[in-house]
Chain A
Amino acid sequence: MTKKTMAVFLFLLMFTSGALGNDQCGTMQCPLTLELKEGKDEIITSGHFNLIWPVKEALSKGEREDDGPGIADALVDDETHAATQLLIATDQSFSQVTHTIPIHSTKRKISLTGFSDGEYYARLFDGHNEPVSNTVKVKVKHHSMGRVWIIFTSGAVLFALLIAYMVAKVFRHKE
């Protein structure tokens, strides 16, 4: 591979990853890395998912220095970060924001629930509405109703059989 080809390849790689993942916050590297805990490409089948953003060592600071760092570290998890809100939108440019969730400076993960089928984009922002993390895409696609009805009906039939047996044999049993 020539140097020129390599340069073009690297440029395209950077351009593509920026467009898909929004790893840049303005001109800087984002201080927080937002991740879907279930896995990057995982399709969410129950409408419930978890987002995490581990705090990088260099950016964190303790709030309980008066307790002594050793004791505080053992007792509490108190690293802080710049994010103040998590936005969830149905488009990557965040023009259709569906959820605005306040985030405390020590929070590092969140559990979200009750989402319908669709593609959602999540990103952390600071107090000045500037992004402080990459964008995460979450695809929600619930189980097919065909499968659900088969399982639901099987459960209902088995339950009816158990209740019928209990009523006929167990509750009426005489020693």
Chain B
Amino acid sequence: MDYNPISINTALILLVIFGIVWIFFGWWLGRKNKTLDDFMLAGRNVGLAFAGATAMATWITSNTTLVAPQLTYELGIWGMVGYSLAALGLILFAPMAKRIKELMPEGYTCGDFIRVRYGKPAWIAFLIVSFCYAMGWLVSLGMAGGVLLDTLSGLNYKVGMTVILAICVSYTLLGGLRAVIATDYVQTIIIIVGVLIIGFVCYQSVGLESVYEFNKEKHPELLSLLFPAAMMFLFNNIFFGIGEIFHSNVWWSRALAFRPGIGKKAYLLSGFLWLPIPIVTGFVALAAPSLGLYPDSSDMVGPMVAAKLLGDIGAIFVFIVVFSALASSLDSLLAATSDLVTRDIYNGLIDKAASKEKLHKLSKLVILGLGVVTWILCLPKITTLGALLNFTGAFVASTIWPIVLGLYQRRMSGNFVTAAFVLGTTCGLIGYHMIGFYVAALFSCITSFVICMVGLIVKDDKFDWQRLKHMEKMQ
């Protein structure tokens, strides 16, 4: 590294302090968990303040603090705007959160919905899509931890990644969703204040004019509205963001955990508050070339610029902000993916008669197992964060129309939805390899849409909404 404002010792001390604080917090909150509902869904009684904070903190991930700058650095203005419009996912999910809570008050996961609404083949296809996405996101978060510490302190990527992953797995294991939501609340405050300060200092130190003039001369495509790859990326990222939220159990489990009437408000609030965050973090990346900063890897650009602007002490602050963003997503994803594996795969396919106590114990083992698998996959840093995340876009964008239509249209049939998942994902992956990461989600969503429309025209499933009320068991 050519700029390591934090010494290795300071980085390790920070990790130890953060580790102790978060793990203790997780243990303290986890003492109140008595049942599976407590552990998985925080007692289904989360109020507006915590609900809004957890939705926002989870969506402000390492992606927002590391990948938004990366995509701005690679794709310029459209990259920044496109990333920001991922807020539409939260905003459009708001009314659906209300509908989900009303339709399936006893549900646990999005897999429950797909299983009852569309049948077993669609459910299996959905689980594969969802699991691939969850692992992609988990690996990107683990990698982000390593990248963060490497950028700020020069600490070896593998060491940083391992320590951050261990901390997040530990406190999620101890506290369940209650700890996840509570830590999210604290982390949201840290993130918002931190990002605003970094953005303000960048604006004051570098200025819009010098950023514009330098990039116009040296990196003209970044400012061009006719930047070809970036134009393709714009709608791709919108569909990626919407697909991520519509299908993921991270958001469904929150919709089910929130008090009745809270979900819609919480998601709208968090969506509108999140919207400007990538603009701020993206602007920071645009300033990099004019500061003479060219990162080793484009996903390092955000913390690199922030640390340069804020100096040695500021770099510690950057570490805290990005670490909070990363931890708030990693814990949520671990908890939600564990729910999906425990409820859908184990309880749905392997042991249908398992007691809630047994599932409670199993969900903890699954969190641990997910942590280990993530660690193994993170070790060879095979690609950048942005490229990895957009790879999963091919999977998730195929779920947008099946989820929306499944919640509001009785006609939509399971066979067509299965085809939409499979063929949508396939076309998305073809686009990813043939053209670039910036079209994967778009190709997937277009294919899935066409199949769903054909399905609506040729077949009427006449689904009975009451079947969702009591969560039918798998036959």
Contacts and interface: CB of A to CB of B under 8 A. Distances in A.
Contacts of A116: 220-221
Contacts of A142: 221, 227-229
Given A155-B239, A171-B95, A75 B400 contact: no
B426 interface: no
A113 B231 contact: no
Given A48-B74, A145-B226, A106 B235 contact: no
A101 B442 CA distance: 36
Interface in B198-240: 215, 218-222, 226-229, 231-232, 234-236, 238-239
B408 A74 contact: no
Interface stretch (B57-65, B152-160, B317-325): B152-160
A45 B219 contact: no
A47 B238 CA distance: 22
A170 B404 contact: yes
Nearest to A156: B235
Contact of A114 (B3, B99, B215): B215
Contacts of B300: 111
Interface string B62-106: 000000000001111000000000000000100110010010000
A110 B218 contact: no
Interface in A106-156: 106-116, 142-145, 147-148, 151-152, 154-156
A27 B366 CA distance: 61
Contacts of A46: 74-75, 228-229, 436, 438
Interface residues of A, number: 49
B292 interface: yes
B235 A162 contact: no
A103 B296 CA distance: 11
A62 B439 CA distance: 43
B186 interface: no
A111 B71 CA distance: 12
B294 interface: yes
A151 B294 contact: no
Contacts of B102: 175
B135 interface: no
Nearest to A166: B92
A74 to B, nearest CB: 6
A50 B220 CA distance: 18
B298 A173 contact: no
Contacts of A114: 76, 215, 218-222, 289
A143 B218 CA distance: 20
Given A75-B156, A106-B2, A159-B235, A173 B99 contact: yes
Nearest to B159: A75
Contact residues of B: prevailing secondary structure: helix
Contact of B435 (A107, A110, A143, A159): A143
B449 interface: yes
Contact of A113 (B73, B92, B95, B228): B73
Contact of B154 (A78, A98, A102, A156): A78
Interface in B223-261: 226-229, 231-232, 234-236, 238-239, 242
B371 interface: no
Given A106-B2, A159-B238, A162-B400, A151 B439 contact: yes
Contacts of B8: 75-76
B353 interface: no
Nearest to B295: A111
A151 B234 CA distance: 10
Contacts of B408: 169-170, 173
A19 B298 CA distance: 32
A47 B227 contact: yes
18 contacts: A48-B75, A74-B159, A76-B156, A102-B292, A104-B3, A107-B2, A114-B220, A114-B221, A143-B435, A145-B228, A148-B232, A156-B235, A158-B239, A158-B442, A162-B242, A162-B404, A166-B92, A166-B95
User: Which 9 residue pairs of A and B lie closest in terms of their CB atoms, listed nearest first?
Assistant: A155-B235, A114-B219, A104-B2, A46-B229, A114-B222, A143-B228, A111-B298, A47-B221, A142-B228
Interface of A: 45-48, 50, 74-78, 98-99, 101-104, 106-116, 142-145, 147-148, 151-152, 154-156, 158-159, 161-162, 165-166, 169-171, 173, 175
Interface of B: 1-3, 8, 73-76, 92, 95-96, 99, 102, 150, 154-156, 159, 215, 218-222, 226-229, 231-232, 234-236, 238-239, 242, 289, 292, 294-298, 300-301, 400, 404, 407-408, 435-436, 438-439, 442, 445-446, 449
Given A154-B235, A159-B235, 9 more contacts: A45-B436, A75-B156, A109-B297, A113-B289, A142-B228, A148-B231, A158-B235, A158-B239, A165-B404
